[in-house]
Amino acid sequence: MPTLKRDVVIVGAGPSGLTAATRLAQAGVSVAVLEARDRVGGRTWTDCVDGASLEIGGQWVSPDQTALFALLDELGLQTFSRHREGESVYIDPSGVRTRYTGEIFPVGDNTRREMERVIEMLDKLTAEIGPEEPWAHPLARELDTISFQGWLAQQTDDEEARNNIGLFVAGGMLTKPAHAFSALQAVLMAASAGSFSNLVDEDFILDKRVIGGMQQVSIRMADRLGDDVFLNAPVRTIQWGEEGVVVFADGDLRVEADQLVLAVPPTLYSRISYDPPLPRRQHQMHQHQSFGLVIKVHAVYETPFWRADGLSGTGFSAAELVQEVYDNTNHADARGTLVGFVSDEKADAVFALSAEERKRKILASIARFLGPQATEPVVYYESDWGAEEWTRGAYAASFDLGGLHRYGRDQRTPVGPIHFSCSDIAAEGYQHVDGAVRMGQRTAEAILGRR
Ligand code: FDA
């Protein structure tokens, strides 16, 4: 078996691993990046489906994501704004559809007051706790041992307000039911985006897209790294010790290096064998992190028909199968594209149906927001990351109830020569491409500091 010798070996060619590799290479450190798939980009993947260019994975960039913006500049990539002109649509729990403008849903006065009050509370908590070390805050244990659903029930007895606020974090971000993660985890999600108000403002959080697609970020970094990126090379075994690592991957690859960056989500760490085994703390911690589940639905039409009706394409409803829908038309494209999301338990339910029946139900749900033309797309595609062997869910991994304050402080701590880097353990930009980039940079700095 031929052996490669490098200063640092990186496992995973997603945005985090490639950022780490790029920064290390720029500092004169030799690298090899081993990627399981036949492409780079990980959870970012811009593909052509039936003649339509689709963002199968991560795509949006928000104004606070400055690490990603700087990288886009460095790589010569431009952004464009999401189409948002026109009225949005809200469907209430009884199925009543209302067109509206502005940030807050057109709900009754009491529900509106309650939503504003709870959002203000969450903004305060988020500002106080911050994204870097939420586990270190005096309220960490209290907030981490109650589910977000339970915490919301303590704050307000207005069910519509609770469900709408739950929608932003549960269906909208962590893609787990609000009973399955803690209030502290919800605060981290908001803190990583700057504030809870940012998280609930779609014009902020879903602001820009990359012309040519988000996967270009990884493709351009990989192009610069050239022959040091190895595809179809799932890493199976990592031998590690004081002197460094020896890595074994498919394709008859053996790499010796001083240090290693494990740039895969924590849910996949246990797909690799470690010799000697990782410490007890890692074994335990990684069992408390899991992926959410969401179906990202793409529907392409000959024209963006909703715009002619004065609609922006944006729709929300905690009661609908498709809880959120947006205009996702590509840059300079005459056709119109919608993207919708079916999250967690609703995704379970429709995955139990035939593909035809699932499509029918999903399009019928989008039609309730934007009109009957929505049922007749020329291209229809469901991103199904739960079925992807090298991801196994979407969008990202988070701790179960109580896990964040119990284990969070150790998630970024290296084990010997092994460093951990991915968006799922980021502070700012947590669960986003920006967080993946920040973690890549942070890990590269830590490695350079050791040399
Ligand atoms: P990522 O998972 O991208 O990369 C890890 C790589 O490791 C993969 O290429 C994988 O194949 C590889 N790998 C795994 N095991 C391996 C092994 N044993 N050996 C070798 N390689 C291995 N973000 C955002 O900013 N805006 C958005 O709009 C969205 N929307 C969104 C939608 C959907 C449907 C998804 C799935 C995700 C998003 N995201 C997002 C999240 C964003 O895509 C995600 O946070 C980053 O891609 C994470 O980058 P990482 O490099 O950390 O992991």
Position 2 scores a pLDDT of: 78
In terms of Cβ atoms closer than 10 Å to its own Cβ (0-12, 13-18, 19+), residue 94 is exposed
CA 194 – CA 315 distance, rounded (Å): 24
**Residue 383 vs residues 42, 56, 57, 296, 365: alpha-carbon distances, Å:** 13, 6, 7, 5, 17
Choice from 22, 297, 298, 423 to test ligand 1 binding pocket (greatest atom count within 8 A of CB) = 423
Position 451 scores a pLDDT of: 87
Position 266 scores a pLDDT of: 98
Would the CB of 292 count as within 6 Å of ligand 1? no
- Closest-CA residue to 306 (of 51, 102, 87): 87
Asked if 11 and 205 touch (Cβ cutoff 8 Å), the reply is no
Would the CB of 29 count as within 6 Å of ligand 1? no
Would the CB of 17 count as within 6 Å of ligand 1? yes
Nearest CA to ligand 1 atom 27: 58
Cα torsion angle, 368, 370, 371, 376, sign: negative
CA of 4 to the centre of ligand 1 (A): 26
Q: Supply φ then ψ for residue 440, to 5 degrees.
A: -60, -45
**Residue 395 vs residues 45, 60, 281, 295, 398: alpha-carbon distances, Å:** 13, 12, 25, 10, 10
Would the CB of 236 count as within 6 Å of ligand 1? no
Position 246 scores a pLDDT of: 98
Give the CA angle between residues 41, 63, 306 to the nearest 5°. 80
- Closest-CA residue to 436 (of 416, 228, 175, 444): 444
- pTM above threshold 0.75: yes
Position 108 scores a pLDDT of: 96
Position 387 scores a pLDDT of: 97
Give the distance from CA 435 to its chain's centroid.
Answer: 9
Q: Which amino acid is located at 75 in the chain?
A: L
- Closest-CA residue to 119 (of 139, 108, 105): 105
Would the CB of 392 count as within 6 Å of ligand 1? no
Would the CB of 433 count as within 6 Å of ligand 1? yes
Which of left, alpha, beta for 175 (phi over 0: left; psi -120 to 50: alpha)? left
Q: Supply φ then ψ for residue 324, to 5 degrees.
A: -140, 140
Q: Of how many residues is the chain composed?
A: 451
Start-end of H helices in 211-268: 215-225
Which of left, alpha, beta for 251 (phi over 0: left; psi -120 to 50: alpha)? left
CA of 37 to the centre of ligand 1 (A): 12
**Position in ligand 1 atom list of the atom nearest CA 59:** 28
Position 47 scores a pLDDT of: 98
Choice from 43, 60, 269, 298 to test ligand 1 binding pocket (greatest atom count within 8 A of CB) = 43
CA of 431 to the centre of ligand 1 (A): 9
Would the CB of 235 count as within 6 Å of ligand 1? yes
Q: Which amino acid is located at 79 in the chain?
A: T
Asked if 428 and 131 touch (Cβ cutoff 8 Å), the reply is yes
In terms of Cβ atoms closer than 10 Å to its own Cβ (0-12, 13-18, 19+), residue 338 is buried
The ranges of the chain with pLDDT < 70 are: none
Determine the 3-state secondary structure of 421 from DSSP: coil
Residues 6+ apart with CB under 8 A from 74: none
Q: What tokens were used for 303?
A: 């024209």
Determine the 3-state secondary structure of 413 from DSSP: coil
Choice from 16, 59, 395 to test ligand 1 binding pocket (greatest atom count within 8 A of CB) = 395
Would the CB of 188 count as within 6 Å of ligand 1? no
Position 1 scores a pLDDT of: 74
| Angle between the N-to-C axes of helices 433-450 and 66-74, in degrees from 0 to 180, rounded to the nearest 10 | 80
